[in-house]
Amino acid sequence: MSSKGPTLTINSKTLLGETTPDGFNRTKRKYARLFLWLTSLLLLTSHPLLSLVTSTCAVYTMHGGTWFSHKNFKWMSASIISFCISLYSLTLSVESDFVDEERAYELKAVLEMKHRAAEMIWGGILLLCLGLTVKEQIDGVVAKSSGMVVEKNKKQT
């Protein structure tokens, strides 16, 4: 004889005596993913300053959410890493602009290669993670709709 009692959910807002409305963290994740889509595309097209701005927006969007949530932690981590990579890329790009091409061509080439590699690698990883999230959402919708079709067929027979 098992009885279902009320469940207790503890997060940072609960510990402070504050409550959040339903869907609060989901909305934050949605906007953070939007900013991360922009960040990944800007990194892949070599716009480090704009990717720094969009990754900063993603970090700012996620900072007010529940930190003990697995989903929030995942997107906050991606936002912070994107910010660091964007800053690193911007720094190397600006440094390579200050290097004299005639005197230190190899240094300039190495700086440009490093910032481009960082942009391409993290931009690709971020795009892959975001694409897999879209695939998960599509699979969830397909599973729900197939369940409805099965139930409808059972009712007809």
pLDDT tens, per residue, the chain with 157 residues: 445 555 545 555 554 555 666 667 888 889 999 999 999 999 999 999 999 999 999 999 988 777 677 888 889 999 999 999 999 999 999 999 898 888 888 999 999 999 999 999 999 999 999 999 988 888 888 887 877 766 766 777 6
Tell me how far apart the alpha carbons of residues 136 and 73 are, in angstroms, rounded to a whole number.
18
pLDDT (0 to 100) of residue 63: 86
Instruction: Tell me, yes or no, if the pTM score tops 0.85.
Output: no
Residue carrying the six token digits 């409550």:
19
